[in-house]
């Protein structure tokens, strides 16, 4: 049965200029071609969320034993597979559901990132308050991306040549550093090197949000000059 109401779907220009985009795309296409037919995009979305839960559990468990950090590292790989493959598989099989996929994917992204960043803050290596600064920066950039879809028809998936995959690689490297170095002593006020790094990423994201907002506002001001 056809739905009673079909809203107009405006094409979205996906902008992805991260460093590993070409290599990642080849890998995803290879995986999509070999994915069993019984595996659906929704199953992969759930798989990615399971990976985020593994990351969170690993960071929480690291309060008891640093070896739990290996669960977080494995969780990042699981999360990458699910999060990167769900939309790729839908496009590969030409079974996209644009509104449903956009809504579900970005809703899961927000929840998964909250699990990852809060998990870092609940570990013994980074203060929760510092992690929340990074989470605020991520959420601000998410708001900017969603607003850009509405006013520009563009979904930018990378900034400063870095996208979600590069961020996962950075977080894996950070987690390995936690495992190797252990709990670091404060070096600036009550902040240790891990606090400074995570807080610095948060400040960078907030700064990027401000600069990108100014740029888009200037562009829109030119495209839509005052009427009087």
List, for residues 105-152, the tens digit of each pLDDT value: 989 999 999 999 999 999 999 999 999 999 999 999 999 988 888 888
| Of the candidate ranges 113-122, 161-170, 203-212, the one whose mean pLDDT is the lowest | 161-170
At residue 92, the pLDDT reads 92
Mean pLDDT of all residues in 157-168: 78
Reported pTM? 0.87
Rounded mean pLDDT of 84-92?
91
| Statement: residue 17 has pLDDT above 90 | no
pLDDT at 15 over 70: no
User: Average pLDDT over the chain, rounded to whole?
Assistant: 89
Task: Calculate what percentage of the chain has a pLDDT beyond 90.
Answer: 68
For residues 152 and 11, the answer to whether their CB atoms sit within 8 Å is no
């Amino acid at each position: 049965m056809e739905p009673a109401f079909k809203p107009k779907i405006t094409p979205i220009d996906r902008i992805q200029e991260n460093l590993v985009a070409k290599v990642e795309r080849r890998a995803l296409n290879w995986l999509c071609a070999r994915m069993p037919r019984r595996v659906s995009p929704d199953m992969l979305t759930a798989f990615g969320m399971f990976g985020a839960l593994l990351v969170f559990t690993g960071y929480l468990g690291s309060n008891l034993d640093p070896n739990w950090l290996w669960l977080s590292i494995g969780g990042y790989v699981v999360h990458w597979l699910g999060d990167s493959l769900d939309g790729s598989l839908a496009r590969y099989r030409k079974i996209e559901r644009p509104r449903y996929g956009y809504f579900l994917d970005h809703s899961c992204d927000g929840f998964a990132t909250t699990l990852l960043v809060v998990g870092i803050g609940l570990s013994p290596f980074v203060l929760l308050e510092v992690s929340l600064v990074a989470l605020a920066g991520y959420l601000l950039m998410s708001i900017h991306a969603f607003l850009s879809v509405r006013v520009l028809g563009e979904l930018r998936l990378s900034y400063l040549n870095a996208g979600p995959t590069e961020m996962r690689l950075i977080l894996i490297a950070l987690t390995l550093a936690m495992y190797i170095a252990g709990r670091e002593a404060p070096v600036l006020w009550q902040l240790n090197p891990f606090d400074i790094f995570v807080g610095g990423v948060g400040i960078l994201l907030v700064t990027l949000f401000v600069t990108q907002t100014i740029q888009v506002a200037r562009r829109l001001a030119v495209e839509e000059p005052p009427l009087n």
